[in-house]
Amino acid sequence: MTPTAQKTLLFLFVAVLVGQLTAACSEKQATLVLAFSPSDASVTIDGYRPSTLKNPHTFQFYRPGDYRLEVSAKGYVPVAMMISVKAGELVKQTIQLVKQTGGSDTPNVIATEPEEPAAPPPTDPTAGHYTPGPDEFRLNITSEPIGAKVMATASGGKSTLVLKTPASKILSRDVPWHLTISFSGHESVTRTIVAPQDAADVNLHVNLIANSVGSLPGGPIKTPPRQQIAPTPTEPSPPPFTTNPSEGLLSVDTVPWTAISINGKSIGNTPIHAYPLSPGTYKILMENRDQSKRKIQTIHIQAGQHIRLNQEL
């Protein structure tokens, strides 16, 4: 075989190999299609901000996992949430920011997700058959584990409801609703919902984290066995969270919401979930300049430890 023929065969082999590798990588990519309002909002994912932002914008993920999505705009309440993507999965997300009002203590706004699977059978006998009026919306709430207790309080304390997940309830859209979701042996989660004017349904799913020994104030807490729930064909159970065993994790939630800095480095607004840190001592700054709230707390984190800070400033 001549040298020229050998070079030709080698070139063809390399081209085929590159094509196969490219196809394999493309099949494993995860895709997020994000639509947002207002159109001039700033969008970051794990601190990355696209140089050119379209609406809707398509993000490609070469590694599945959990990513922090932040959407903000001047004069609007910012949104910070975790996005979970799987290999080959297409995720669609719509976020509508709500304008800020003077003295508002609304920390986060839950975005509507019309692409979510249909809500489970409602516990409210009228919720599934009643069409919300112009001053109402339907809240569909689910949790992992199921059976969590939901305390829903209208802003100003005028009305309080007690629900159990999965649940569907007709609520007034005239005021924000403050939710506290709790389950025995797990950390409680708080959310504030302001329903967009053009949305009849708001879907919310919450993953509750089991308490770990030594991570909460007041001494060790014994963690009961987690409830085993078989996945359904339409909504499989999420994979367990994995992290580098040589690192620790920090979660922070505050009332009102605050901007968080670690040793002078800003990492975003609360809630902060499972932020990885190398073992050592850190100064955590929690600050809300609009309400003149500020607190500094020093922590010492070890490898494999998950510290959770829940503060009311």
Tell me the per-residue pLDDT of 254-265, one tens digit each, with 9 for 90 and over. Answer: 988 899 999 999
Residues 115 and 95 in one domain: no
Asked whether 308 and 251 are in contact (CB, 8 A), the reply is yes
Q: Which of 100, 125, 144 is the last residue of a domain?
A: 100
Residue 96 falls within a domain, yes or no?
yes
Residue 235 falls within a domain, yes or no?
no
Distance in angstroms (rounded) separating the CA atoms of residues 42 and 39: 9
Distance in angstroms (rounded) separating the CA atoms of residues 167 and 147: 9
Distance in angstroms (rounded) separating the CA atoms of residues 304 and 17: 40
* Mean pLDDT (whole number) for 191-212: 81
SS3 label, residue 20: helix
For residue 138, give the amino acid letter. R
Residues 185 and 252 in one domain: no
pTM over 0.95: no
- How many domains, the chain? 3
State the pLDDT at residue 280. Answer: 93
Domain that holds residue 266: 248-312
* Residue 142, pLDDT above cutoff 70: yes
SS3 label, residue 141: strand
